């Protein structure tokens, strides 16, 4: 219970402008990128790790839940404060503290916007690859907490592959520094890996040391149009089997294409059943061009009716704008969407797409398919109207069948969005009882009072 005396304590820590409790503020911080909603009791906007630590101490003493929050772009209801309490937003902890060129690392506070971090390092010739499509409205801390991915993961890996060190506040308020600037460090358990992807349930991340690599100098981007979705899906495997490692290999189906084209007028083909967006990159112009031509050739051989290679940076930017706009553009088709994040071994992509289409046909609701096909990570989005109880009931069944399809094919529930509140009921099926038990024990050891983001990840 947030009494006036507790609010005064919190105000002393975070400052008067760091405590928000108007109905408008509570409403804004009660959402994320889904349709889920639950308001916090208070919103706190600390500026330092020390302040976060003191806030956690107050929360522990008073048994108040704390939900860490970046920019609330999550797609699993992870930052929705389902049990009220404190919404602790890191958006004022947004300083890039150091770009250490000699060691190729950047040290940043958790609330830095991902795109800002990328721009800052790119200006100095460095590259921070993790690129969730939400990169302009997501934070580095949120990306670490979800182990975010993005189109470039196929070649460059996920956020966790770049985390060298963290500063975190534990559930008792203690501050812990893990790792550092060393590329190799195998002393003790890998706590960076434990906290990466922990979705606010084990700690509040306040700072990170992130690995950088050399900025690729050349890019070639192509859009291949297919008359059949199955043909596009099969081509993904053919490109990778040929030894080409594109920086990105993205799939959009016809509904995704239509929604983006209606919203943005980018000249996308409205009569194609699917498109593949392929990008190659590297330090050598000739080999980057050779790879895109080889990928384009494979697309043609596998039935692409047209392959357009972007002629200049503006055309490349427009193709990427199309891909990054899919998720928001789906709002044009239906009042609600439920976007999943299943991943399958890449050889199973054609089969999982067939099964997703069958689920859509069975229940009569559209399932839009797009995503990072190159690494088997698809975002089937069910379009529906939540006000219609009949549709809402069907959505529950459809999600269950989507997850079953992924698991049957040797896949998993989430490639990058995390479990949050939405996937909890399916966790046991995905991980099995032994894994769940171990993970619950870790949670219990680090957060015995269940203060940090209760009601997330674990089934009740």
Q: Which residues bind ligand FAD (CB under 6 A)?
A: 32-33, 67-75, 78-79, 90, 110, 132-134, 138-139, 141-143, 145-146, 148-150, 199-200, 204-205, 327-328, 416-417, 420, 453
Nearest-approach distance from CB 151 to ligand FAD, in angstroms: 7
Whether 163 contacts 210, CB under 8 Å: yes
Distance CA 359, CA 397 (A): 9
Nearest-approach distance from CB 323 to ligand FAD, in angstroms: 9
User: Which 3 state secondary structure label does DSSP give 278?
Assistant: strand
Contacts of 156 (CB under 8 A, 6+ apart): 129, 130, 213, 247
Whether 96 contacts 105, CB under 8 Å: no
Give, rounded to a whole angstrom, the gap between the first and last alpha carbons of the chain: 22
- The nearer residue to ligand FAD, 206 or 280, going by C-beta atoms, is 206
Distance CA 413, CA 352 (A): 13
- The nearer residue to ligand FAD, 138 or 307, going by C-beta atoms, is 138
Nearest-approach distance from CB 281 to ligand FAD, in angstroms: 17
Contacts of 308 (CB under 8 A, 6+ apart): 222, 223, 224, 225
Nearest-approach distance from CB 361 to ligand FAD, in angstroms: 27
Strand partners, 163: 210
- The nearer residue to ligand FAD, 159 or 360, going by C-beta atoms, is 159
Distance CA 343, CA 100 (A): 35
- The nearer residue to ligand FAD, 68 or 232, going by C-beta atoms, is 68
- The nearer residue to ligand FAD, 233 or 330, going by C-beta atoms, is 330
Nearest-approach distance from CB 259 to ligand FAD, in angstroms: 13
- The nearer residue to ligand FAD, 231 or 418, going by C-beta atoms, is 418
Nearest-approach distance from CB 202 to ligand FAD, in angstroms: 8
- The nearer residue to ligand FAD, 73 or 336, going by C-beta atoms, is 73
* Cβ neighbours around 421 below 10 Å, total: 22
DSSP string, 165-203: EEEEE-TTS-EEEEE-S-S---SSS-HHHHHTT-TTSS-
Nearest-approach distance from CB 60 to ligand FAD, in angstroms: 16
């Amino acid at each position: 219970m947030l009494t006036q005396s507790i609010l005064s304590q919190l105000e002393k820590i975070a400052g008067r402008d760091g405590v928000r409790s108007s109905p408008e503020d509570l409403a804004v911080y009660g959402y994320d990128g889904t349709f889920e909603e639950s308001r916090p009791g208070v919103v706190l906007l600390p500026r330092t790790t020390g302040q976060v630590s003191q806030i956690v101490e107050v929360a522990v003493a008073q048994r108040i839940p704390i939900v860490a929050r970046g920019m609330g772009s999550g797609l699993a209801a992870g930052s929705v404060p389902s049990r009220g309490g404190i919404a602790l937003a890191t958006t004022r902890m947004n300083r890039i503290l150091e770009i250490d060129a000699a060691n190729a690392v950047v040290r940043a506070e958790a609330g830095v916007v991902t795109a800002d971090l990328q721009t800052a390092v790119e200006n100095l010739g460095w590259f921070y690859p993790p690129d969730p499509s939400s990169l302009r409205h997501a934070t580095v801390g949120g990306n670490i907490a979800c182990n975010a991915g993005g189109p470039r993961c196929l070649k460059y890996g996920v956020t966790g592959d770049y985390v060298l060190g963290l500063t975190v506040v534990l559930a008792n308020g203690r501050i812990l520094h893990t790792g550092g600037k060393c590329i190799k460090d195998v002393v003790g358990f890998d706590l960076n890996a434990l906290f990466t992807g922990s979705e606010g349930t084990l700690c509040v991340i306040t700072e990170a040391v992130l690995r950088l690599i050399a900025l690729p100098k050349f890019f070639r981007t192509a859009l291949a149009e297919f008359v059949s979705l199955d043909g596009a899906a099969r081509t993904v495997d053919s490109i990778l089997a040929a030894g080409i490692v594109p920086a990105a290999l993205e799939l959009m189906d016809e509904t995704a294409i239509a929604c983006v084209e209606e919203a943005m007028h980018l000249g996308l083909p409205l009569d194609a059943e699917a498109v593949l967006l392929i990008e190659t990159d590297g330090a050598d112009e000739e080999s980057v061009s050779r790879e895109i031509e080889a990928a384009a050739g494979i697309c043609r051989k596998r039935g692409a009716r047209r392959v357009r290679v972007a002629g200049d940076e503006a055309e490349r930017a427009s193709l990427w704008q199309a891909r990054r706009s899919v998720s928001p553009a789906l709002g044009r088709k239906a009042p609600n969407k439920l976007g999943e994040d299943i991943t399958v071994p890449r050889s199973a992509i054609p089969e999982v797409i067939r099964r997703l289409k069958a689920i859509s046909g069975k229940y009569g609701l559209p399932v839009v398919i797009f995503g990072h096909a190159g690494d088997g990570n698809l975002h089937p989005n069910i379009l529906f109207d939540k006000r219609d109880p009949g549709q809402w009931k069907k959505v529950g069944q459809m999600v269950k069948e989507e997850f079953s399809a992924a698991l049957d094919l040797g896949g998993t529930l989430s490639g990058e969005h995390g479990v949050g509140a939405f996937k909890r009921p399916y966790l046991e099926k995905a991980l099995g009882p032994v894994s769940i038990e171990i993970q619950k024990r870790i949670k219990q050891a680090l957060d015995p009072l269940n203060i940090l983001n209760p009601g997330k990840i674990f089934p009740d």
